[in-house]
């Protein structure tokens, strides 16, 4: 049997693994919440470390903690912010809705580390949690972890994909192809124009995400239990944000209204909605790539994606568009995450939202999935994209919808007759139009020139 030690909290004694850095409250959570086996994301735990560093330094400045004690807490919390000791945070995602168990898990680990450094007892509540409540710490950690993940992960990856698509536009401006609406042949456009649509979707998604960030940088810290700031100095929030920004180089500030910051998760819901919109855009782009790559013989075959792995366990030589498929699945997950966050956002009962942990986990997963999807598409789709110009040109020449350009000269009904005959006989529109109209080949060539039609 593993060795244990006895820890005590306000409810009594609990046996804890002898080597664990956490204490009684964490152990109670481990025993109580055996729901999913999934723990809080590392980025969230690291954000809590940053919060505890800033809180300790603010408390020291305000004379609420001895400077030596505060320094030891800050040093211990810094190791958490750096991603150390992640195995000491085993609490399940599906726990108390305020995230109190995770907050106390972090407090207990930091208290243990600080106690070892100081050679004296550091209390997880009285010292590490000074001027704080789980009710403002966890909402703050949601905002901090999400903002840092956006800045460090998603936005650079999204910009990289946008730039990769944009880089192809100049070289493809003279590549004219058949457009498609309803998956049926339509008027032509250039490949550059088609890609510009994708690029603009991503640019607008980036802008909408950035629009959320000014509110995301407003933090609940300082509201403590219900938004009134009880047991916290009135200047704590400002001092806290100063030290947090010094640690991570951002521009966080106290929330305009602590009551809203604790009772609602509207900012997380809004950001999740924009992540969902990005997921929809990526799924559209991924599916377009799959269609354009389809074949190689009986599909569209307009492009060739880089072959990455065998595509079948039974059909030799088959290669599939695996990256667009993976991105489409990741996008579906993000759309599902948004539904969870939306439901969770409705659970702001009176002064506190009580689905904070699941909001944190889904939001961070969505950011990570979108960031990694952008990288995958940049590196494994667009870096080696091959355009099959011959196939595109051959399909364009036989596109009966080019006849739309003749509407003004021969009328809609005559143009429709030309289109139907061209399609039935598998002939270019211009050849049939020469036979069915009084227009010369030169006139028809000018009217049907795809470059003029785009």
Does an H or E element contain 275, and which? helix 266-293
| β-pair type (12-17, 4-9) | antiparallel
Distance separating alpha carbons of residues 23 and 375, to the nearest angstrom? 40
| Tokens at 185, concatenated | 């042949």
Counting Cβ atoms within 10 Å, is residue 27 exposed (0-12), middle (13-18) or buried (19+)?
A: buried
Q: How far apart are CA 448 and CA 438, in angstroms?
A: 15
Counting every residue, how long is the chain?
454
Quick check: is 127 catalytic? no
Catalytic residue flag (residue 214): no
Q: Which backbone phi and psi does 187 adopt, to 5 degrees? A: -65, 155
CB 285 within 8 A of CB 303: no
Bridge-based pairing of strands 253-254 and 218-219 is parallel
> What's the CA angle centered on 357, arms 356 and 363, to 5 degrees?
90
CA proximity to 143, closest of 286, 266, 238, 35: 266
**CA gap 250, 146 in Å, rounded:** 12
Among residues 182, 234, 298, 313, the one annotated as catalytic is 182
d(CA 51, CA 236): 12
| DSSP bridge pairs for 14 | 7
Phi, psi of 190 (to 5 degrees): -85, 155
Token readout for 162 is 């946008």
Half-sphere exposure of 202 (CA within 13 A, CB side): 29
Q: Looking at 36, 67, 214, 312, which residue is catalytic?
A: 312
Apex 298 CA angle, 293 and 303, nearest 5: 20
Point out the residues that are catalytic. Answer: 182, 312
């Amino acid at each position: 049997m593993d060795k244990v030690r006895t820890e005590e909290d306000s409810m009594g004694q609990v046996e804890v693994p002898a080597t664990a850095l956490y204490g009684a409250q964490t152990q109670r959570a481990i025993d109580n919440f055996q729901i999913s086996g999934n723990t809080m994301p590392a980025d969230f735990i690291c954000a809590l470390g940053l919060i505890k560093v800033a809180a300790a330094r603010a408390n020291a400045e305000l004379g609420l903690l001895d400077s030596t004690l505060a320094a030891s807490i800050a040093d211990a919390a810094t190791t958490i912010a750096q991603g150390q000791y992640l195995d000491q945070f085993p609490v399940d995602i599906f726990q108390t809705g305020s995230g109190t168990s995770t907050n106390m898990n972090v407090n207990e680990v930091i208290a243990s580390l600080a106690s070892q450094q100081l050679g004296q007892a550091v209390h997880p509540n009285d010292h590490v949690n000074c001027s704080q409540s789980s009710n403002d710490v966890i909402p703050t950690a949601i905002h901090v972890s999400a903002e840092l993940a956006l800045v460090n992960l998603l936005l650079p990856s999204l910009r990289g994909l946008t730039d990769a698509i944009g880089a192809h536009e100049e070289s493809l401006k003279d590549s004219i192809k058949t457009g498609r609406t309803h998956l049926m042949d339509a008027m032509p456009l250039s490949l550059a124009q088609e890609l510009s649509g994708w690029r603009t979707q991503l640019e607008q998604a980036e802008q909408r995400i950035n629009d959320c960030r000014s509110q995301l940088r407003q933090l609940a810290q300082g509201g403590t239990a219900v938004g009134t700031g009880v047991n916290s100095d009135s200047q704590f929030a400002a001092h806290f944000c100063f030290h947090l920004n010094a640690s991570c180089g951002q521009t966080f500030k106290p929330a305009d209204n602590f009551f809203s910051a604790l009772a609602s998760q509207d900012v997380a819901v809004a950001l999740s909605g924009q992540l969902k919109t990005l997921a929809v855009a990526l799924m559209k782009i991924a599916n377009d790539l799959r269609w354009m790559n389809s074949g190689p013989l009986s599909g569209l075959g307009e492009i060739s994606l880089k072959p990455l792995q065998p595509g079948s366990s039974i059909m030799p030589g088959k290669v599939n568009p695996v990256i667009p498929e993976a991105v489409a699945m990741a996008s579906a997950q993000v759309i599902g995450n948004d539904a969870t966050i939306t439901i969770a956002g409705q659970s702001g009962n009176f002064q506190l939202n009580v689905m904070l942990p699941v909001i944190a986990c889904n939001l961070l997963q969505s950011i990570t999935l979108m960031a990694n999807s952008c990288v995958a598409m940049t590196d494994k789709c667009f870096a080696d994209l091959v355009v099959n110009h011959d196939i595109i040109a051959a399909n364009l020449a036989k596109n009966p919808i080019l006849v739309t350009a003749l509407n003004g000269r021969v009328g809609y009904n005559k143009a429709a007759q030309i289109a139907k005959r061209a399609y039935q006989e598998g002939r270019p529109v211009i050849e049939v139009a020469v036979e069915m109209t009084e227009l010369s080949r030169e006139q028809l060539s000018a009217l049907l020139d795809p470059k003029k039609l785009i």
